[in-house]
Chain A
Amino acid sequence: MSQPDLTRIERDTLATMSSTSRLYWAGLAVSVALVALGGWAWSLALRRGLGVFGLNEPVMWGALITTFVFFIGVSHSGTLVSAILYFTRSPLRAAIGRSAEAMTVITILTAGLYPIIHIGRSWLFFFVLPYPNQRQLWPNFRSPLTWDVFAISSYVTVSALFLYMGMLPDLALLARRVTGWRRPLYRVLSLGFSGTDAEWTLFEKAYPIFAGVVIPLAVSVHSVVSWDFAMSVMPGWHSAIFAPYFVAGAIFSGIAMAILLLSGLRRGYALERHITPAHFDLLAKLLLAMSLVMTFVYLTEFFMAFFRGSPAEVEVFTWRATGTYAWVFWLVMFCNGVAPLACFWSRVRRSLPALIVISVLVSVGMWFERFLFIVTTLARAYDPANWGNYRPTWPELLICLGGFGWFFMLFLLFVKIFPSMSVAETMQHDHALTLPAPAGGETEASHA
């Protein structure tokens, strides 16, 4: 078979860096505007105090913590999916792995902002860090909130290194290709990688070790976030199912976000040859599978609450479905449990507009799902004398929107400075497609 056109592969994979469309500038402008709005709303909270938020007794966690949990969830699946695709030798990894890994790092950086904003006096966030001080404000290592600090900071470090490690060959290539200020940048960042056989051997041996570290860490980080809730004795939270439930929800929302980002890259940079309907078909199947898992978890939660018969649990779950936030509950059921069922049809799985609509619905559904379980439990806990409601104020909503602007802004800047697809892996993959099939076996092309 003919050899792949290496120059074309390089041009395609570096397309996001070499050309800037109007769509890109429009997206960046909207993102920056959202960040500015969110920043201004945060400045209100810094100047006037937490009173600008709708938080109250008993609902002291609201839209900000909801957004934190949502973004941690989105972050979960990027690195996890990339590492799993690596171990399964999936040809899909070359096209979607880099974007998914970048999504992970950027969403954790976004998520990390929210607890800092939520505490009000944000400049004192370092109180939770484990350092000795004269007032003996030691962190309490028996608290899940301290576990969170370690889990998230470990995950962001390891995910960033995983992304960086995978980019080393591409950075070396870029250091030879570009001119101007980028050249010394890529030269330094590539750590001198030059592509000798010994370096490739080391790379191919080190990478799976790192991927093996990343997978359990990815599972742990969202489990630890779930324990922020589940380790308490609050009705609706104190459940052993929370860790797997959060992990499943994280993968679910992460896949939806990956579909949105990849469809944008595909459309904006004419990457149809590399990001194909087969990629979206696989992602849609994963989305469908996770939707079924989520529906099962929702039903299990209700079943356990009513079977156990604890009055407080029964009250919380009944109120979720019929009380003040019933519209949120049914919206979540529709977005997360019903809409993704359309992916049973292959025509939907291969239709990009349909998948974009479903992914937006899932993202909305997952944000509201986090909102639902946080707020309803706090609002309807054990003591009826202490029941209350919560309504987010517009500064809170602007800060949440600002987080989405922050996320998209960082992603757009990332694809402008770094390749959004792995050049080396794409070259290797396209070359493998040209190799003859082994006797009695399938070719990689047939898998693809």
Chain B
Amino acid sequence: MPDDLVAVFAEPDAAASALRALREAGVPGARVVSPAPYPAVHLTGQPGAWRFLGTIALVGGLTGLGTATALQVITSRNLDMIVGGKPPVSWPAFGVVMFELTMLFAGIFNFSALALLSALARRRVPAQARARVETERIVVVVPAAEAGGPRQALIRTTLQGAVEVTP
């Protein structure tokens, strides 16, 4: 099975230029590994399941809201005492904890979603290519399926700015 083509660039702009050239050459599947969010990482069509992030945070927020409501209502009914002239279930007073737990759970769900979806997303790039990235090294990966065949020479030409291309 042929390997993916891995090009290592020393400058962010060189990697971005190579990606643009690859796209113009009809090679849309290239991937980037970068130490910082340079413009190059935005030239690959925003891969990853990021569209779920907002929904997951919303679900987290609703979970927090439900948890806070249940905790306060069940607890207060269990004790069933009137304190400060307020009935056991005092919705205005409960609003604070409901708000706090809504935000807390939304944040925790958002963070967990980022960790989980990132772990799934990074598997699309071979580990050997990911290991090559450094502070001054940006890696462009052309999948084997697109790197071979008659376009191979053209692709290698577009990667001329790289300091290293393997294989």
Q: Which of A1-46 contact B (CB under 8 A)?
A: 3, 6-7, 9-10
Whether B107 and A161, one on each chain, are in contact in the complex, defined by CB atoms closer than 8 angstroms, is yes
Q: Is B121 an interface residue (CB 8 A)?
A: yes
Residues of B within 8 A of A144 (CB): 96
Cβ A213 vs Cβ B114 within 8 A: no
In the complex, whether A245 has a CB less than 8 A from a CB of chain B is: no
Asked if B36 contacts A194 (CB within 8 A), the reply is no
User: Cβ of B113 < 8 Å from any Cβ of A?
Assistant: yes
Is B124's CB under 8 angstroms from A198's CB? yes
Tell me whether B57 and A196 are in contact (CB under 8 A).
Answer: no
The smallest beta-carbon distance between A188 and chain B, in angstroms, is 12
A399 shortest CB reach to chain B, Å: 28
Q: Are B135 and A427 touching (Cβ within 8 A)?
A: yes
- Which B residues touch A132, using CB under 8 A? 78
Do B93 and A196 have beta carbons less than 8 Å apart?
no
Number of interface residues of A (CB under 8 A): 61
Interface of B is mostly: helix
Residue in contact with A210 in the complex, picked from B86, B101, B111, B133, CB distance below 8 Å: B111
Number of chain B interface residues as a range: 35 or more
Given A192-B122, A199-B121, A217-B103, the answer on whether A142 and B86 have CB atoms closer than 8 Å is yes
**A158 in the interface, Cβ–Cβ < 8 Å?**
yes
Contact between B53 and A202 (Cβ–Cβ < 8 Å)? yes
Q: List 19 A-B contacts (CB under 8 A).
A: A130-B75, A132-B78, A139-B75, A140-B83, A142-B86, A157-B108, A158-B103, A165-B111, A194-B130, A197-B47, A198-B48, A198-B118, A201-B41, A202-B121, A203-B37, A206-B113, A210-B110, A227-B96, A431-B38
Binding site for A on B (CB under 8 A): 11-13, 31-39, 41-42, 44, 46-50, 53-54, 57, 71-72, 75-76, 78-79, 83-84, 86, 90, 93-94, 96-97, 99-101, 103-104, 106-108, 110-111, 113-115, 117-119, 121-122, 124-125, 130, 133-136
Binding site for B on A (CB under 8 A): 3, 6-7, 9-10, 130, 132, 136, 138-144, 146-147, 150-151, 154, 157-158, 161-162, 164-165, 169, 173, 176, 191-206, 209-210, 213-214, 216-217, 220, 224, 227, 423-425, 427-428, 431, 435
Apart from A209-B54, A224-B96, A423-B36, 6 more pairs, CB < 8 Å:
A143-B83, A154-B100, A165-B111, A224-B100, A427-B35, A431-B38
10 smallest beta-carbon distances between A and B, as pairs: A198-B121, A198-B48, A427-B36, A154-B104, A206-B114, A205-B50, A194-B130, A198-B47, A142-B93, A424-B36
